[in-house]
């Protein structure tokens, strides 16, 4: 596995973890006045931008969790596929 493919996997994993952390903070109703909570939520919201509003459920928190969860899976899966492609080409 090349260094580039490892870096691609690392970035995809980091993005997925930020999104998952954002989901946990939203579901647990973390204090948005906290700077760390706000930074993680802002980052997750930006990363999930194309997926926001994909599903609208009865609860806004559930909708966010589903949409951000889909984003996490897509980013992680895409990074694995791309890393595999790069690894085979190297």
DSSP state of 50: G
Specify the pLDDT at position 72. Answer: 98
Specify the pLDDT at position 39. Answer: 98
The residues spanned by each domain of the chain are 3-89
pLDDT in 10s for each residue of the chain, 90 residues: 799 999 999 999 999 999 999 999 999 999 999 999 999 999 999 999 999 999 999 999 999 999 999 999 999 999 999 999 998 886
pTM (2 d.p.):
0.92
Which residue's structure tokens are 């599903």? 55
Contacts of 84 (CB under 8 A, 6+ apart): 5
Specify the pLDDT at position 1. Answer: 73
Specify the pLDDT at position 90. Answer: 67
């Amino acid at each position: 596995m090349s260094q580039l493919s490892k870096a691609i996997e690392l970035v995809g994993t980091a993005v997925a973890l930020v999104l998952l952390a954002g989901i946990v903070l939203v579901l647990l109703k973390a204090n948005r006045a906290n700077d760390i909570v706000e930074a993680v939520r802002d980052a997750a919201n930006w990363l999930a931008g194309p997926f926001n509003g994909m599903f609208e459920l009865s609860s806004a928190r559930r909708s966010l969790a589903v949409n951000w969860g889909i984003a996490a899976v897509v980013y992680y899966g895409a990074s694995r596929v791309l890393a595999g492609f790069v690894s085979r080409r190297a």
